[in-house]
């Protein structure tokens, strides 16, 4: 497999978010990954202190121009995550559209990072750009519940959840995975609900839709970078299982499960008894999870609806 990904995300010197969270696991699974760092920070912003630089839209254009001048702007996938600047986001969409013209089979995987738990953590002027330009250009999107509700301007309810998924499909993407939601789980309130929907055309030209749900145990800790890891793993496993969203989601979520379990075990050991782990101690144990990334034991099953 010679499959090349252009990943436009944040970068940290220490820890695992953005490109640091996406690149290693994709490379472990055999993907070539070219990275453009939308920001370069000392560490993620959940620490007490952080320093760094932000890439402007003009600087993004310069980097892409260099790639293009050398005629090495051929990609199979584009992966994007957290962005804070409207002109930068506009430029990303322009690059995606140019790359799609060069390769109509290119798949754009977009994590539309807007906020969580009822609050936006990017400027509000990014929302219409995501709604009108980014999501229509995307093939796979991975919003959380709050982000899906922002994009559609309506609340997510269990009774109409797949009508909502179809509305997201109608905006452009063939694959929609709502990575976490507070919808009621039959297993109780200690579980988050993830939902997936994939539309594809069969060999005889028929359009089929596969829809799944997963009940994921909550963990009492704050992890940073798991959303970036989720989007990267969904890219990888949908590539390796293109017609089986159930398997792709099971492997994606199982990778996250193994990484988080290893991370929380380590963090608690280092923090000591009855002490809450620090952000530094809760950095994802990514390298130590290499074997689980390559071949994850399936620990959480998806239900086909």
Residue 221 has a pLDDT of 86
Residue 157 has a pLDDT of 87
Residue 150 has a pLDDT of 96
pLDDT digits (tens, 9 = 90+) for 152-202: 999 988 888 888 899 999 999 999 999 999 999 999 999 999 999 999 988
Domain ranges of the chain: 4-304
Catalytic residues, which ones?
228
Identify the band that residue 1 occupies on the pLDDT scale cut at 50, 70 and 90: low
pLDDT digits (tens, 9 = 90+) for 115-146: 998 999 899 999 999 999 999 999 999 999 99
Query: Is the confidence at residue 93, as pLDDT, over 80?
Result: yes
pTM: 0.96
Residue 220 has a pLDDT of 84
SS3 string, the chain, reads CCEEEEEEEEEECCCCCHHHHHHHHHHHCCEEEEEEEEEEECCCCCCCCCCEEECCHHHHHHHHHHHHHCCCCCCCEEEECCCCCHHHHHHHHHHHHHHHHHCCCCEEEECCCCEECCEECCCCCHHHHHHHHHHHHCCEECCCHHHHHHHHCCCCCHHHHHHHHHHHHHCCCCEEEECCCCCCCCCCCCEEEEEEEEEEECCCCCEEEEEEEEEEECCCCCCCCHHHHHHHHHHHHHHHCCCCHHHHHHHHHHHHHHHHHHHHHHHHHHHCCCCCCCCCCCCCCCHHHHHHHHCCCCCCCCEEC
Q: Which residue has the tokens 């809760």?
A: 282
Let me know: does 26 contact 18? Beta carbons within 8 Å.
no
Residues above pLDDT 90, as percent of the chain: 91
Tokens of 179: 């990575």
pLDDT digits (tens, 9 = 90+) for 234-276: 999 999 999 999 999 999 999 999 999 999 999 999 999 999 9
| CATH fold for domain 4-304 | 3.40.1190
pLDDT digits (tens, 9 = 90+) for 29-88: 999 999 999 999 999 999 999 999 999 999 999 999 999 999 999 999 999 999 989 999
């Amino acid at each position: 497999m010679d499959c090349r990904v252009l990943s436009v995300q944040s970068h940290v010197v220490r820890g695992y978010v953005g490109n640091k969270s996406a690149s290693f696991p994709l490379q472990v699974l055999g993907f070539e990954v070219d990275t453009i760092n939308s920001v370069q920070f000392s560490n993620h912003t959940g620490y007490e202190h952080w320093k760094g630089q932000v890439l402007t839209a003009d600087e993004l254009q310069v980097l892409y121009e260099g790639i293009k001048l050398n005629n090495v702007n051929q990609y199979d996938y584009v992966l994007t995550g957290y962005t804070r600047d409207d002109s930068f986001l506009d430029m990303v969409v322009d690059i995606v559209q140019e790359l799609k013209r060069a390769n109509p089979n290119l798949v754009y995987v977009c994590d539309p990072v807007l906020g969580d738990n009822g609050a936006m953590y990017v400027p509000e002027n990014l929302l219409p750009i995501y709604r009108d330009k980014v999501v229509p250009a995307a093939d796979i999107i991975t919003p959380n519940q709050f982000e899906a509700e922002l994009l559609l301007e309506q609340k997510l309810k269990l009774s109409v959840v797949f009508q909502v998924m179809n509305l997201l499909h109608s905006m452009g993407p063939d694959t929609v995975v709502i990575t976490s939601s507070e919808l009621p789980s039959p297993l109780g309130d200690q579980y988050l609900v993830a939902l997936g929907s994939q539309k594809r055309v069969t060999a005889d030209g028929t359009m089929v839709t596969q829809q799944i749900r997963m009940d994921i145990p909550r963990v009492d800790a704050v992890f940073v970078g798991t959303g970036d890891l989720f989007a990267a793993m969904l890219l990888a496993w949908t590539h390796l299982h293109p017609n089986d969203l159930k398997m792709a989601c099971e492997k994606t979520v199982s990778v996250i499960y193994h990484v988080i379990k290893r991370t929380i075990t380590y963090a608690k050991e280092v923090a000591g008894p009855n002490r809450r782990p620090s952000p530094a101690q809760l950095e994802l144990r990514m390298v130590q999870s290499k074997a689980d990334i390559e071949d994850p034991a399936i620990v959480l099953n998806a239900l086909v609806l």
